[in-house]
């Protein structure tokens, strides 16, 4: 559709030949189907710029035309048997009904309380299902201005690894560091770390095996990093990193078991009451 024509169609001053109803402005027509300006309500996000609104509107109109043309082409080329969707529609309707009932049952009866003991037991018996796809690390790091006069003291405190030294380091970081991370119990993906710290390495596995304390810099900042621990991809993922996933797995198993029990109960009850026959 040409831009000028499209603008004319959207304009309130459109020619009356584009109107099917006196009160409706027509934007497009395919056969006997018409697209009206009112059909675009809700299509354009509030606050959109005029240029963006025009682009969204044009795209919607062109997609509408293409879809209608495809439907028209299909209707002209498919026979009655090919267009008989009653069976598929009935199956789809039945699937939606069952899905809605199962969801209602889950909301009413599913026990969503998962204990730590249950999660830990699942992890211990299924560790081979929790293999790392990326390298992960536990670290502490401090980011300072390149010309900072605290760099030597900060490095000494960070690389020592002592609890009292970390307490002193925290005080320094709160007042002077541009950024810091001292929660060494958290596991982080190494790929995410190197996005924040300019560590250059072609072999992350070898780098982690051979570097405990790292000092790097760019044109403005000094980065001090102490790697407390690491795990290479394909190793067993630590429990702390998998807790949310384990909880979801346990809940999903409960959902399946609940649905299976419900289906079996319905079948057994109907069998007992002669609610069905199989010939």
pLDDT band at 21 (very low <50, low <70, confident <90, very high): low
Q: Is the pTM of this model over 0.75?
A: no
**Residues in the chain, total:** 279
pLDDT at residue 20 is higher than 50: no
What domains appear along the chain, each with residue ranges and CATH number? 3-77 (no CATH), 85-129+238-273 (no CATH), 132-231 (3.10.50)
Please say if the pLDDT value at position 45 is more than 80. Answer: yes
Give residue 1's pLDDT band: very low, low, confident or very high (50, 70, 90): very low
pLDDT higher than 60, residue 258: yes
Identify the CA nearest to 54 among candidates 5, 3, 14, 15: 3
pLDDT at 13 over 80: no
Residue-averaged pLDDT of the chain = 88
Report, as an integer, the average pLDDT of 78-86.
Answer: 85
What percentage of residues in the chain have a pLDDT greater than 90? 67
Residue 75 to residue 78: CA distance in whole angstroms = 6
Give a three-class secondary structure readout of 164-190: HHHHHHHHHHHHHCCEEECCCCCCEEH
Q: For the ranges 5-19, 45-59, 79-93, 235-249, which has the lowest average pLDDT?
A: 5-19
H or E element in which residue 216 lies: strand 213-217
| 161 or 87, greater pLDDT | 87
Quote the CA–CA distance of 245 and 268 in Å, as a whole number: 34
Q: How far apart are CA 279 and CA 274, in angstroms?
A: 13
CA-CA distance, 137 to 204, in Å (whole number)?
11
Residues 6+ apart with CB under 8 A from 98: none
What tens digit of pLDDT does each residue of 129-184 get? 999 999 999 999 999 999 889 999 999 999 987 778 888 999 999 999 999 999 87
Tell which residue, 141, 147, 221, 137, has the closest CA to residue 180.
Answer: 141
Confidence of residue 64 (pLDDT cuts 50, 70, 90): very high
Predicted local distance difference test score (pLDDT) of residue 104? 96
Region 238-242 average pLDDT:
94
1, 10, 30, 55, 58 from 4: Cα distances, Å: 9, 10, 20, 13, 11
User: Quick one: average pLDDT of 182-195?
Assistant: 91
Can you give the pLDDT at residue 183? 83
Q: What's the confidence (pLDDT) of residue 3?
A: 46
Q: Residue 8: what pLDDT? A: 44
């Amino acid at each position: 559709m040409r831009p000028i024509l499209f603008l004319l169609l959207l304009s309130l001053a459109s020619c009356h030949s584009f109107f099917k109803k006196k009160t409706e402005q027509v934007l497009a027509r395919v056969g006997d189907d018409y697209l009206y300006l009112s059909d675009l309500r809700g299509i354009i996000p509030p606050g959109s710029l005029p240029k963006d609104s025009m682009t969204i509107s044009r795209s919607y109109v062109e997609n509408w035309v293409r879809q209608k043309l495809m439907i028209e082409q299909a209707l002209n080329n498919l026979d009655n048997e090919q267009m008989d969707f009653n069976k598929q529609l009935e199956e789809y309707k039945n699937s939606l009904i069952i899905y809605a009932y199962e969801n209602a049952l889950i909301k009413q009866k599913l026990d969503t309380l998962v204990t730590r003991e249950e999660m830990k037991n699942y992890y211990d018996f299924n560790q081979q299902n929790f293999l790392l796809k990326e390298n992960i690390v536990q670290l502490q790091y401090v980011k300072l201005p390149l010309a900072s006069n605290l760099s030597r003291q900060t490095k000494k405190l960070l690389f020592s690894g002592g609890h009292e030294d970390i307490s002193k380091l925290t005080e320094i970081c709160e007042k002077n560091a541009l950024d810091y991370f001292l929660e060494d119990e958290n596991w982080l993906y190494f790929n995410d770390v190197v996005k924040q710290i300019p560590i250059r390495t072609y072999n992350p596995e070898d780098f982690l095996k051979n570097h405990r304390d790292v000092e790097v810099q760019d044109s403005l900042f000094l980065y001090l990093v102490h790697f407390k621990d690491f795990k290479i991809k394909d190793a067993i993922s630590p429990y702390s990193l998998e807790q949310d996933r384990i909880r979801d797995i346990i809940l999903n198993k409960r959902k399946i078991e609940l649905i299976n029990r419900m289906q079996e109960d319905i079948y057994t009850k109907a069998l007992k009451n002669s609610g069905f026959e199989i010939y």
